[in-house]
């Protein structure tokens, strides 16, 4: 016992034991998690400020990106709590353990729901462009986003209610943070929050991809015959096709980050989740919140322009919200 480090030394017989880890490994993990958490928070905050400040970006499509950035921003903040778990001990209490997991699940569920809405938005924009302005309005998108957030909060609160009624009931020792979801509920959760949304996203994107490719071929074949007065239409189509490609990159990154976690859920490994020994799949799941704004950086010129105005404090100038960044 003299060589063993306990989370709570005063509770000799009931305290959890700190896992022994090489110092180099601990420092590397600490730096990595700190960097990813900070990058996630900063990049998503830049997306939020950009879309909220510049009036030119107040479009239904960008409003969905704003919702995604807000959910990813909160996931980044919650991710910072994992840095405190590097020594394998949870010091914030059983109630905070349940709250921590619930908030993280809400952020992840909202990200998934927003991805479905973004896919639907791109589907209408590419496959039914003439009706897009009347079908997809700011008001309708705002309602869909509110419903998405409301459902995520209600749904995750319900599946975690048992962990709130008796917090810490599944802990084997003091200093542990364990949440348990009934196996059947875990399977239903996996279907509702992964299999179903992924199926919808893939089906919509495949349709968008086919139509976008056909439009791109038609544009290339007629580009020499386009008159000056029709150049705006061609530019609009190019923008929609580029947005569809960006959606494809988002979907691929989404699947890479989410697939391992929900695969382990399907075989029942997620029915018992120990936060103090966070699995690699869960870290990869949270890493998606950092990947999304990185994709914006490379795929959206307006994001790079707005970031320059933000970091140079030009957004504080009078009339900066009216600046043209598209």
User: Would you tell me how many other CB atoms lie within 10 Å of the CB of residue 187?
Assistant: 17
Residue 274 bridge partners (DSSP): 178
DSSP state of 195: I
Please give the pLDDT value at position 73: 92
Task: Tally the residues of the chain.
Answer: 326
Residues near 134 by beta carbon (within 8 Å), at least 6 away in sequence: none
Q: Does domain 23-222+230-322 have CATH number 1.20.1070.10?
A: yes
Of residues 242, 239, 279, the one with CA closest to residue 262 = 279
**Which two tokens mark 36?**
């990813």
Cα-only R_g, the chain: 23
Q: Are 72 and 40 in contact (CB under 8 A)?
A: yes
To the question of pTM greater than 0.85 for the whole model, the response is no
Residue 178 bridge partners (DSSP): 274
Please give the pLDDT value at position 282: 67
Model confidence pLDDT, tens digit, residues 241-293: 566 666 677 778 877 887 777 776 666 544 445 555 555 666 777 788 888 88
Please give the pLDDT value at position 279: 55
Q: Taking the domains of the chain in order of start, what are their residue ranges?
A: 23-222+230-322
Ranges of residues in the chain whose predicted pLDDT is under 70: 1-4, 82-88, 215-247, 264-282, 297
Kindly provide the residue ranges of all beta strands, DSSP E only, lying in the chain, ordered along the sequence. 178-180, 272-274
Please give the pLDDT value at position 229: 46
């Amino acid at each position: 016992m003299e060589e063993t480090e306990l989370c709570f030394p005063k509770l000799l017989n009931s305290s959890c034991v700190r896992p022994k880890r090489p110092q180099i490994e601990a420092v590397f993990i600490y730096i990595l998690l700190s960097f990813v958490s900070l990058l996630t928070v900063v990049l998503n905050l830049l997306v939020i400020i950009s879309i909220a400040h510049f009036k030119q970006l107040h479009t239904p499509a960008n409003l969905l990106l704003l919702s995604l950035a807000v959910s990813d921003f909160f996931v980044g903040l919650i991710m910072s709590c994992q840095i405190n778990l590097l020594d394998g001990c949870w010091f914030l209490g059983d109630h905070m353990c349940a709250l921590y997991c619930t908030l993280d699940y809400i952020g992840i569920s909202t990200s998934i729901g927003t991805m479905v809405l973004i896919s639907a938005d791109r589907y209408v924009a590419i496959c039914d462009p003439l009706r897009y302005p009347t079908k997809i309005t700011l008001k309708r998108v705002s309602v869909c986003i509110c419903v998405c957030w409301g459902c995520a909060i209600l749904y995750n609160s319900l599946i975690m209610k048992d962990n709130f009624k008796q917090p810490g009931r599944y802990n084997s020792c003091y200093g542990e943070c364990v949440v348990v979801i009934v196996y059947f509920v875990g399977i239903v959760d996996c279907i509702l929050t992964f299999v179903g949304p992924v199926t919808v996203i893939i089906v919509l994107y495949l349709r968008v991809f086919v139509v976008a490719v056909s439009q791109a071929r038609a544009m290339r074949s007629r580009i020499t015959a386009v008159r000056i007065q029709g150049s705006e239409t061609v530019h609009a189509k190019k923008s929609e096709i580029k947005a569809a490609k960006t959606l494809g990159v988002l979907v691929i990154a989404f699947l890479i980050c989410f697939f391992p976690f929900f695969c382990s859920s399907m075989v029942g490994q997620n029915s018992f989740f120990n936060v103090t020994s966070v699995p690699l799949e869960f870290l990869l799941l949270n890493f998606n919140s950092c990947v999304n704004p990185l994709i914006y950086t490379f795929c959206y010129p307006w994001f790079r322009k707005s970031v320059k105005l933000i970091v140079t404090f030009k957004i504080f100038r009078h009339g900066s919200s009216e600046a043209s960044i598209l």
